[in-house]
Amino acid sequence: MSNSHLKRLFLLKGLASRLALGLVAMLTTIAIQLYYPKALSHFIDNIDAAMASGWLSDYAVVMLVLLTLQAGAAALRYYLFESAGLLVVAKVRTLLHQSLLCQPIAFFDQHNVGEMTNRLNADTEVLHDTLTMGLAISLRSLCICIGGLIMLLSISPMLCLGLLFFIPTSMFLGRWLGQRIRLRSQAIQDCQADCGRVAHENFANARLVHAFNQWPLAQQHYQQATDKALQTSLSCTGFLAMFNGLASFLMFMALLFTLWLGGSLISQGMLTVGELTSFVIYAAMVASSAEAVSGFWSDWMRTLGATDRIFSIIDDSSVPAKVSQTPLCLQGHIVIEHLSFSYPQRPQNLALSNFNLTIQPGEKIALVGPSGAGKSTLANLLLGFYQPNSGRILLDGQPLTALNLADVRSQMAIVEQEPSLFWGSLYDNIAFAVPGGRPSQAEVEAAARQANAHDFILNFPDGYHTMVGDRGVQLSGGQKQRIAIARALLRNPRILILDEATSALDGESENLVQDALERLMAERTTIMIAHRFSTIAKADKVVVVDQGTLLEFGSHQELRRTSSFYQRLLQNQHSERQVSLCS
């Protein structure tokens, strides 16, 4: 399985030509390298004749040309193999990023952001290390090994006999240890991903950590993760050390044996000094190359471990549907029939149970209920983030499952409880509403005006080009909400999902947000997860949800008169609001 993943990598565009050219450059350097000892042997055995005939200067010129050729070929080989490795890593990184991004939403419930970014960096870095110089060095070493062995055989087959024992032994050991290293290297990648996850959580929650004086605990969590990673790495390093030690011991034993036998062959007149010198140089070349090849075997095993992980994610993902050529035009009629749902991680807990609701086009529905009642879950199912266990959702009479999700989502917009802003300009953050397109400045400004965001945007020196996020300006809660509303307005959806922020804004900001929301909701089917009395009062109908079921349904005034549950809910929300405004 792993090798087929690697084959897929080698099919990348532009890779084969680079590797083929690199191979030619490499074979050139190897041929010259293998020629040196032979030339040396010839030189040593004929030094007197060479001095007498003046052949020495010809010899020097030939060697100079060869050296220059070798240097050029070596530089070319380095560039081609290194660039091939960089190409692979860049491609795999983008593929992996797309696969992670396109996973179903349930995947993000189970995997931490830190773990995923670590996969993206650490696992692909392993590919880079092995596939660039690692591969080039090993291929070169392998060729030198084979070429050197041929030269050794041509000098003295008898001297080579001893090597026949050492080479298969080291290959068998390499395979046995390599398998163990591969298993451990997968565990190391997991531990490193875990370290990344803990660090990400700690940094992302730095304010909370400081506010609760919990930095020792946060540090302890990181320490535990790194300790585990260290232990796993140490166990792998033990095998690597054994591997390297045994390989070099076997290689140098072979060299010693060669010297001993070679000496006795010279004394019997069966070998010249020049031949023994070149034999020793070839043997040393073969020994060090074999060591490099065996070292690469363990790296290769580590790479296979990383590719297994990467491709298991890539193969598991599917590219989400694209918006159709003929746009879907929804009226915004929603029917929810006998909907039951439990999250994959908690199959026993029904987040929604036999839920029924009909929403007319343009109607504004406020979903209210205690925390954990299932309000956000309903929004998640409407957006097609999860599949219901049973029941169905009909949009304009058509089951959601029968529609192209990208088309459906193109008719929807969501304003989140805590609006997310991306690193980029304010313009980019509003224009995010239009996938693939780049709305004009006038369109973005019009949306921002309606969302009461235009004025505060112009107060920044760079206006719409002001950068937000980590390295840009920080916006207040109310400003973020107005940017999110402008984004939704630009999308011009038929169905609007509004997850109202629970945190209170100050009076002026609240009025600006409410005013913007009213414009956004006008003539659209709106489902509000409402927390504030002022928002609930704007709804055509109020749906009271409790423990995943629809408890009551009616206008705000009706429910206020008739439902004690609703009255209690309002009272709770009112007192919470008082508390948050006073605090």
Would you say 550 and 373 are in contact if contact means Cβ atoms under 8 Å apart?
Answer: no
Based on DSSP, count helices (H) and strands (E) in the chain, helices before strands.
22, 12
Residue 315 Cβ vs ligand ATP, minimum distance, rounded to whole Å = 25
Q: Which is nearer to ligand ATP, 325 or 345 (CB)?
A: 345
* Residue that the structure tokens 């003539």 belong to: 523
Identify the CA nearest to 495 among candidates 420, 383, 577.
Answer: 383
Q: Which is nearer to ligand ATP, 303 or 377 (CB)?
A: 377
* Residue that the structure tokens 């050794």 belong to: 152
Q: Which is nearer to ligand ATP, 37 or 369 (CB)?
A: 369
Q: Which is nearer to ligand ATP, 141 or 377 (CB)?
A: 377
Binding region for ligand ATP (CB under 6 A): 109, 343, 345-346, 349, 351, 369, 371-377
Task: For CA atoms 27, 28, 31, 36, give the dihedral sign.
Answer: negative
Residue 533 Cβ vs ligand ATP, minimum distance, rounded to whole Å = 15
Rounded CA-CA distance 471/448 in Å is 22
Q: Which is nearer to ligand ATP, 285 or 350 (CB)?
A: 350
Q: Given the DSSP bridges, would you call strands 525-529 and 364-368 parallel, antiparallel or unpaired?
A: parallel
Contacts of 539 (CB under 8 A, 6+ apart): 364, 365, 366, 528, 530, 556
Residue 106 Cβ vs ligand ATP, minimum distance, rounded to whole Å = 8
Contacts of 209 (CB under 8 A, 6+ apart): 202, 215, 218
Rounded CA-CA distance 385/409 in Å is 11
Residue 371 Cβ vs ligand ATP, minimum distance, rounded to whole Å = 3
Q: Which is nearer to ligand ATP, 307 or 377 (CB)?
A: 377
Q: Which is nearer to ligand ATP, 350 or 412 (CB)?
A: 350
Residue 350 Cβ vs ligand ATP, minimum distance, rounded to whole Å = 9
Within 13 Å, how many C-alpha atoms sit on residue 330's CB side?
30
Rounded CA-CA distance 9/307 in Å is 10
Q: Which is nearer to ligand ATP, 372 or 435 (CB)?
A: 372
Identify the CA nearest to 486 among candidates 530, 438, 429.
Answer: 429
* Residue that the structure tokens 């565009």 belong to: 13
Residue 392 Cβ vs ligand ATP, minimum distance, rounded to whole Å = 19
Residue 219 Cβ vs ligand ATP, minimum distance, rounded to whole Å = 28
Residue 372 Cβ vs ligand ATP, minimum distance, rounded to whole Å = 4
Rounded CA-CA distance 550/332 in Å is 21
Q: Which is nearer to ligand ATP, 3 or 371 (CB)?
A: 371
Token reading at 296: 């690469």
Q: Given the DSSP bridges, would you call strands 390-395 and 398-399 parallel, antiparallel or unpaired?
A: antiparallel
Residue 308 Cβ vs ligand ATP, minimum distance, rounded to whole Å = 28
Report angle CA 114, 485, 370 to the nearest 5 degrees: 70
Within 13 Å, how many C-alpha atoms sit on residue 198's CB side?
19
Residue 579 Cβ vs ligand ATP, minimum distance, rounded to whole Å = 17
Q: Which is nearer to ligand ATP, 228 or 541 (CB)?
A: 541
Q: Which is nearer to ligand ATP, 139 or 352 (CB)?
A: 352
| Torsion angle defined by CA atoms of residues 306, 310, 316 and 322, in that order, rounded to the nearest 10 degrees | 180
